[in-house]
Structure 1
Amino acid sequence: MSDAQRMRDAKKTLGRQLATWRTLRGLRQHDLADAIPMSRSTIAGVEAGAQVVDETFWSRCDSLLHADGELLATYRQYRELERRYQQERAEAARRKRWGAVTAVARTGDIRHHETAVAAPGVEADEQAAGPSPVSVMQKVLESAVTGAGDSDPAGVDLSLLEQRVLDAHDARWRRGPREAPLLVVVGGYAGSGKTQLGELLAALTGWPLLDKDTLTRPMTEELLRALGGDPNDRHSDAYLAAVRPIEYRCLLNAAFDQLRHGTSTIVTAPLLREAPDPRWLDRMRSRFTASQIRVATIWVDADIESMYRRLASRDAARDSWKLNHWNAYSGAVDLALRPAWNHLVIDNGTGAVRPIEEQAALVGRIISPA
């Protein structure tokens, strides 16, 4: 039996095990999907052995179906089998694709390598015009491999790195230009939970998360000090007039760098000035249109009491002015504030019907159905 067939059989075994436990508990696929939460088609795909999903899914299934750890243990066995399979596949790919590169690299004849060893799928006349990005990538990785062997002293498995890079490259070009990247903008007041939602969405989609405070706080604090202000005051004239615009420019520039390379990106920021202004979105869209970038906006809503609890709990220096002047700050909070364009509202207040984790799972299905 081939290794690939063994992987397919293991996936089907895992799916059948889930179906057995679900049937034993008297649940339909719809029932389990609603409880996870997950789409019914995903449950059906897993049980048919067509997909596996992540460990969180199997942990929840194990708990809901009272499988006493059996489902989770089988899932982890499958992942270990997959890891060994991928490692062997990567090694075979390295020998097949780069055997000639390795021999040339060890002689030090790089000029000969560039003309004699073409990247897979690259014609000789294209190679003569200069090394392709794929061939450059191969050279860089091969240098690492020939310099350190299959594993370096720190325990990094370079053969797996090679395969991950090649798989990502293949997947990127298989997608082609049909799938425009998506910018997900998550806004809301301080303490509403927008960063928490952003982190949940990033975990669900695998997309990078750019949080305004994480990205710009060191710069903001130094600029405020240079202007003679309090580095933790986000309500002073110096901050609002001189620093805040730079923060948002840095944030959106960083997002655009991801998006223009085809990577969907999640951005979290208050957007309290931007949300009510439709011209802000128009300006951003005009910048993104040429690159076929889509924009989705999510507003995280919360009540005053829950925002206060979160701010007090996280005890961040940047929130000190708000907490020390809570009556003045909370009196200026407009709970009716919403973006002036199409958006989705997430209720993260005290009386929310669903916890934010469940709402994030629903949003994840919308923005990244795959």
Structure 2
Amino acid sequence: MSQAPERLTRGTSAESIARHLRTEIESGTYRHEQQLPSTRALAAEWETSVATVTRAMQQLTAEGLVISRDRSSRVVNYPGEERRVRQETEAPTILVIGGYAGSGKTELGRIIARLTGWPLFDKDSATRPVVEMALVELGSAPSDRESDLYLSKVRPAEYEALRTLTAENVACGNSAIMTAPFIRELRDEAWTRHMAADAEALGATLRVIWIRADADTMQTYIRRRGAARDTHKLAHWDDYLQGVDQDFTPTLPYAVIDNSLSSPPLQEQARELLTTWAVL
């Protein structure tokens, strides 16, 4: 029987705190000129020392992302960038972003949406209220993501809803971003052929990003968001990690973004990739 993981001491690394806060700023979770929580509040949140948080803030201040107004007040300095005005004479893009829980899919999707102006369809945001109600009506818990009921009945409907939302926007000439694990889908040749056929029928370019992260980073993301659907994963963390394939390879052509602590910031990697695709 798997043991519950030890309490995560997320703040043992100032670099880890700085990376997560940087991503939250660049993805718009923290807005320009928004006041950040106090040093003591962040230390309590990350279960670490005030000194560690201070070092993280010094790093973000040096990068220009945070401005210290006085000892106890720091605000976000991220006015955003002018989005490219796209002429829709070029083919729209269907961008599929997949990855394991806690890899940073939604954050990457938000960063790309802010850089491009493309609409973002995140599976949890788009379907969670309906999914939770359906699970309760079917006699399960709203946080259920492991039972045969969820996997065979509810999950396929989630992904179909996400695909339909995206296709409707692309049919109107708009590029669109989908974020979800896509673990089954991206290794299912029938599903990938279907997506490729959809893109061709819509006159769109299909692109796939697989986002990777080390186990510590994934656990930090999962704990930080505090979602009920992650309860089972965290309570059986070692068992869950046994099912994580760090060498996962989609059956479609794809690009890799690495969100591990040692990797460049997500926005830097996203900008480089979009430039390669001639999107920026």
Q: Which structure is richer in relative contact order (CA contacts within 8 A, separation 6 or more)? A: 2
| Residues 1:270 and 2:181 aligned together | yes
Amino acid at match of 1:248: Y
Q: Are 1:366 and 2:279 an aligned pair?
A: no
Change (3 A) 1:368 1:258: farther
Within 2, Cα distance between the matches of 1:299 and 1:288? 18
Deviation at 1:264, TM superposition (A): 0.3
Change beyond 3 A, Cα 1:255–1:337: same
Equivalence for 1:305: 216
Corresponding position: 1:257 with 2:168: yes
Q: 2:126 aligns with which of 189, 211, 215?
A: 215
SS in 2 for 1:358: helix
Displacement after TM superposition at 1:363 (Å): 2.0
| 2:6 alignment counterpart | none
Find the aligned partners of 1:368 and 1:263 in 2 and give their Cα distance. 16
Q: TM-score, normalised by structure 1?
A: 0.52
RMSD of aligned alpha carbons: 2.4
Structure 1: gaps (5+ residues)? 1-54, 56-61, 65-75, 80-167
SS in 2 for 1:275: helix
Give the drift of 1:368: 5.0
2:19 counterpart residue number: none
1:256 partner amino acid: A
TM-score by length of 2: 0.68
Match runs of 1:5-154 below 5 Å: none
Question: Contact (CA 8 Å) 1:199, 1:209: kept in 2 or not?
Answer: yes
Residue segments in structure 2 that go unaligned for 5+ positions in a row: 1-31, 33-62, 66-78
Task: Say which of 140, 147, 150 aligns to 1:229.
Answer: 140
| Other-structure match for 1:330 | 241
| CA shift for structure 1 position 63 | 5.8
Would you say how many aligned residue pairs link Structure 1 and Structure 2?
203
Residue 349 of structure 1: which of 257, 260, 269 is its match?
A: 260
CA distances 1:307-335 after superposition (whole Å, capped 9, x unpaired): 11111111111111111121221221111
Q: Distance in 1 between matches of 2:253 and 2:196?
A: 13
Q: Distance in 1 between matches of 2:176 and 2:147?
A: 30
Q: 4+ residue stretches of structure 1 with deviation over 4 A?
A: none
Q: Which amino acid aligns with 1:194?
A: K
For structure 1, which segment, 195-204 or 313-322, has the greater mean C-alpha deviation from structure 2 after superposition?
313-322
Residue pair 2:132, 2:142 contacting (<8 A) in 1 also = yes
Pick which of 262-271 and 321-330 moved more.
321-330
